[in-house]
Chain A
């Protein structure tokens, strides 16, 4: 079932939660709505489910405008953040609930409901627990029951609100893999909400990055990580370091020193340079590079994270060094980002190393510059 949100806008008591959001979801896709709290991702999900009504705009299920349909008529499987299992019903009754409440003609007989529930229990690998109550299950088990309950009604789309939010890291990773398997097996169009980028990038076919009620970027994990289209996405997904710079004729300047980076298509004036802490090259001398003194150093798993104070304004940036690197406190380090992006302060134009082949092209160019400055 294709899903399409067309210019949806949602206000709560005059406060906008979503501004003019449009999104197309293909049948069978697994989509993540990713954003910090307050970005409107849950509101968007509830809009699709019919638990909220858009102030303006429409939601299409396939070719059909579903905006005026109630949540019951939309036939969506919704998994709630805190599961919302019915605490006075057994696991089997919880799963069978959606079938039991169907109107007389389409309601399957009791044995059929029972059989379907036990099938789903097999699917979620909880066979034998049909007579337990939700309070007798672990968090991960409850989550799976909630999913089985949503699948029982054979939904057109499956919507999950922070599905793994309340679980510990280990269970979360397991369930993530398991949800992917279920998705691949059942083929439901699935949308889930998360604030965990790792979860979104690992699980989803496409990630929808949201901020302040707007969609910032839609793309695969590679797209949003390697080609972030806004300062927000760059800062939100993965680690990033930011440095305020000046652009003059396509050259980046940190105060009176050239960084040795050429950024085309960026307006002159103040701008921000974004790069990944691990995507840098260390340099010996410094003409056309970023140099700073080590202000703090942390060991993070297999690498060392170093905070540098750069330039007269003592801007702090973070870079990653190999463990063997010997830079101690107050040592000087010179480096240049291998991949980077410049966002002008004045308008939202961005520049990456080169458009055709970012890595090689940009690299060569800077090699050349380095040679000339040396």
Chain B
């Protein structure tokens, strides 16, 4: 920034030897305004993003690395990590399939109710996560029609892994679809028509043409979907029942530990979630940097 400013000024001086009137680009600001704005932005970032992140790690290591590792090796914590990974491993692939199917249908075909379907896909973004969880309580709870019937057949939904998976799928399903819809709309149907006219079947067209065209956008969507699936708190909290070692995901486990004043353990688990966020961020930035033009909705998230 400073270098840019210097070159600007040297050019100005060269153009006007008298130096009485200085020319500035129409869209740029004076050094003072620039400085203040940059300082404000940096200060805000430091206060609200960097400081809490550092605090998480400081708190986690307050009693040393040994205590940190001990907290992570605790059976309930390991169970929470395992459950979180399991849920993500089920929810993300399902949403990948759903997202591709929905985006494909919306971007490549004309049908009635398309606008409604597009709106519906955005629903989980606009509904409070608590409501998302509550929906499943109402649907499968003791007072509902489905719940007791399923229970009599030995299938537990609520306060068990299936409920958590369902709530997670609901909350994360827009990510892949939202990423792909603008991308696929932008690409149009030209390539597919070309493949079909060359004799490719529908599946070959999808496999050899459509999928390679969207792969980076798809990876980007999956990444965001995964981050949200592992970090989801609200919806999962409502349906999980908080049974230690059984239905506690990592975010829920952090809350329990914190409420028990077990700060080191709470923050130790938090560092794992924070680490996940950082890895996601790095990968996301890399994808945006490397394949920016193939990731349509990058600016929208």
Contact = CB atoms under 8 A, between A and B. Distances in A.
A62 B193 CA distance: 24
B197 A78 contact: yes
B26 interface: no
A18 B193 CA distance: 21
Interface in A76-129: 76-78, 80, 82, 84-88, 97-98, 101-102
A292 to B, nearest CB: 50
Which of the four size classes fits the interface of chain B?
10 to 19
B196 A72 contact: yes
A86 B199 contact: no
A290 to B, nearest CB: 50
A135 to B, nearest CB: 11
A132 B204 CA distance: 23
Candidate in A49, A51, A84 with the most chain B CB atoms within 10 angstroms: A84
A87 B194 CA distance: 12
Nearest to B207: A101
Contact of B199 (A75, A80, A85): A75
Contacts of A86: 191, 194-195, 208-209, 212
Nearest to B294: A87
Interface string B175-203: 00000000000000011011111111100
Contacts, number: 58
Contact of A101 (B193, B199, B213): B199
Contact of A72 (B190, B201, B209): B201
Nearest to B199: A72
Nearest to A149: B198
Given A72-B196, A88-B212, A101 B201 contact: yes
A153 B199 contact: yes
B196 A71 contact: yes
A87 B213 CA distance: 8
Interface in B144-192: 190-191
A78 B194 contact: yes
Candidate in A71, A72, A78 with the most chain B CB atoms within 10 angstroms: A72
A71 B208 contact: no
A102 B197 CA distance: 12
Given A87-B213, A101-B208, A72 B200 contact: yes
Interface string A130-167: 00000000000000000001101100000000000000
Given A87-B213, A88-B212, A97 B200 contact: yes
A223 to B, nearest CB: 32
Interface string A34-77: 00000000000000010100000000000000000001100111
A51 B213 contact: no
A72 B192 CA distance: 12
Contact of A84 (B190, B200, B208): B190
A176 B195 CA distance: 25
Which of the four size classes fits the interface of chain A?
20 to 34
Contacts of A87: 213
A89 to B, nearest CB: 8
Contacts of B193: 51, 71, 78, 80, 84
B199 A98 contact: yes
A150 B194 CA distance: 9
A78 B209 CA distance: 17
A49 B197 contact: yes
A152 B197 CA distance: 12
A49 B197 CA distance: 8
A152 B201 CA distance: 17
A10 to B, nearest CB: 16
A88 B195 CA distance: 13
Contacts of B204: 101
Contacts of B191: 84, 86
A12 to B, nearest CB: 10
Nearest to A77: B197
Interface in B134-150: none
Contacts of B197: 49, 51, 71-72, 76-78, 150
Contacts of A98: 198-200
A87 B190 CA distance: 12
A101 B195 CA distance: 9
B198 A97 contact: yes
Contacts of B208: 86, 97, 101
B190 A82 contact: yes
Nearest to B202: A72
A351 to B, nearest CB: 46
Contact of A80 (B194, B200, B209, B213): B194
The 4 A-B pairs at the shortest CB distance, nearest first, are namely: A98-B198, A84-B194, A101-B200, A84-B190
Interface of B: 190-191, 193-201, 204, 208-209, 212-213
Interface of A: 49, 51, 71-72, 75-78, 80, 82, 84-88, 97-98, 101-102, 149-150, 152-153
Given A51-B197, A86-B195, A97-B195, 6 more contacts: A71-B197, A85-B194, A98-B199, A101-B195, A152-B198, A153-B198
